[in-house]
Structure 1
Amino acid sequence: MAWDIAALILFPPGFDASKRYPAVVSVHPFGSCKEQTSSAVYGRRLAEAGYVVIAYDASYQGDSGGAPRWIENPTQRVEDISHVIDHAVTLPYVDAGRIGVLGICGGGGYALNATLTEKRIKAVVGITPVNIGRLFREGFSGYDPIGALDAMAAQRTHEARGGAHQINELLPASPEAATASGMIERDVWEATDYYKTPRGQQPGGWTRMLFSRAQSTLAWDAFSFVESLMTQPMMVVIGQNVGAFGAYRDGMEAYGRSTASKDRQLVSLEGWSHYDLYDKDEPVGLAMQRILPFLGKHL
């Protein structure tokens, strides 16, 4: 079965279709969509700097195809990146030898993982990257991955027999609801402030997950074989204000283990958090001050 991947293509100022440009594939976070930080923040700034940017919706999510909806499958998420590159290399205005990938949050973990085997990627940037497999085995399963897998198995059997899908909402309905329920941990509250208010809310950014189809996520690891296979230049950008989703820890791990990279760089921003790096002008600006020279050197 095949389906379409929906994407936004952002062009540099004064774009000339007869010329060839470096391109960046921009990968949205877990529970997000192409209209949020991947295009509106990082995609826009990269396009302004001279890149063709392709920000797309993951399979089963946003405006992309795939059923049932709201599956978060890491293998498919990584494969999506290769499919987007397949399209990019057919565009006459894209230089196929100068393609990079940038991903945010879970998209950062997927971008790093894709780079291990997708050697058409010439440089990769992980913005506050999260290893979704690690997060599911730990906090998202209540530190009981076997219990979670048993529950997923039972739910999938229920659905196979005609029962209703279990769609998990990942966040409280509003910052006020988060506060009222005591969910004031930094990442949970700040995620709610981004995804459930006009600050970042978009129709395609559902922050939902089909529970029964998440089994493979618990057995997936973004950084398997990174020591030997991460040969391309890589950059990790993290905020030092640590939250429960673990981007600081994951970013440090990805950087520390990428010893085969031709140019590995760590950008650690004091005083900023995971969700500050989604859209706040100062931390995003600080990140771009390092990202643009890095990509300019390698693309």
Structure 2
Amino acid sequence: MNIQTVSIQNHDMAWAISALVLTPANFDESKTYPTMISVHPFGSCKEQTSSSVYGKALAEAGYVVIAFDASYQGQSGGTPRFIENPSQRVEDISHVIDFAVTLPYVDNERIGSIGVCGGGAYVFNSALTEKRVKAVVGITPVNLGRLFREAFTEFNPLGALEAMAAQRTAEALGGDLQVNELLPPSIEFARDNGLTERDVFEATDYYKTPRGQSEGGATRMLFSHAQKTLTWDAFAFAETLMTQPMMAVIGQKVGAFGAYRDGKEIYGKSFASKDRQLVELEDWSHYDLYDKPEPVALAMQQILPFLTKHL
């Protein structure tokens, strides 16, 4: 496997997207390859699970993989920083495909997408309108709009919107930006303060330890610019627009972020899909599927035949 860092700048973009292009061993630029666009989780970056785990596995299986940092995050451009804008995240996927189709070794008729956590829901949403995507896989997908309306606002979305409005006005008048840290600073802090709900604790174990910690994986969010997230639904119109083959992979150990529920929902709504598949992995959780060898291997055992069939 070979890895190249590239900067993607399309004519309709005000900033560049930073990406990693992973190519198989014995790569021959004169040939064409099926290509996967790999999308990182909310609060993550391209160096984490989207490239180092699933991107690596796909490249080793013969795919070209493009894993990129979301706008406003990681090494990609866009200011202010740490904005999580679902519509922009989905548009980023199309911008990366715009880049992919210019590469002589990418087979434009064999482009798929794969995403983890929030990235899993983003690739499903993208596929509703981005028909250059011929097959789509969501790993433990989380519908961020649903999560924000519920747990992330403590089931008080109107209160959160009022607070965001006040904060945005304060910042427009010269006040400091409010950048919220989304996780406990360490697993010790989480344990000592009773923050042991499965997803919160396991996210801390991934993002705040050498296991998954990366400079670009900030786990921070600009509070004042999160309003639009509360009206976004990753799976809206999936009943009619999800026509491509789709696969959702979920773990049966349920956590508060709701991937088990969301994976079942997008599978249930995708009855217009040419081939819909739901993979449930017993005894594994949301964050196990980020990088733990056994559940990742179990997922790939289902993903690779699915992609071979459709790409």
Range class of TM-score, shorter chain: over 0.9
Identity %: 75
Aligned to 2:231: 219
Aligned to 1:295: 307
Aligned to 1:86: 98
Q: Give the count of matched residue pairs.
A: 299
Q: How does 1:208-287 map to 2 (within 5 A)?
A: 208-287=220-299
1:105 aligned residue (96, 104, 117):
117
Q: Partners of 1:187 and 1:15 in 2: how far apart? A: 38
Cα shift at 1:232: 0.2
1:178 aligned residue (183, 187, 190):
190
**What one-letter code is carried by the residue in structure 2 that aligns with 1:160?**
A
Unaligned segments of structure 2, at least 5 residues: 1-12
Unaligned segments of structure 1, at least 5 residues: none
Q: Partners of 1:196 and 1:17 in 2: how far apart? A: 38
SS at match of 2:236: coil
TM-score (norm 2): 0.96
**What one-letter code is carried by the residue in structure 2 that aligns with 1:150?**
E
Aligned to 2:78: 66
Q: How does 1:79-228 map to 2 (within 5 A)?
A: 79-228=91-240
Q: Partners of 2:55 and 2:189 in 1: how far apart? A: 31
1:26 aligned residue (16, 20, 38):
38
Q: Partners of 2:155 and 2:161 in 1: how far apart? A: 12
Cα shift at 1:181: 1.1
Q: Which runs of 4+ in 1 moved over 2 A?
A: none
Q: Partners of 1:62 and 1:224 in 2: how far apart? A: 28
Cα shift at 1:243: 0.1
SS at match of 1:237: strand
Cα shift at 1:296: 0.6
Aligned CA RMSD, in angstroms, stands at 0.5
Q: Partners of 2:309 and 2:197 in 1: how far apart? A: 38
SS at match of 2:17: coil
Q: Partners of 2:192 and 2:173 in 1: how far apart? A: 38
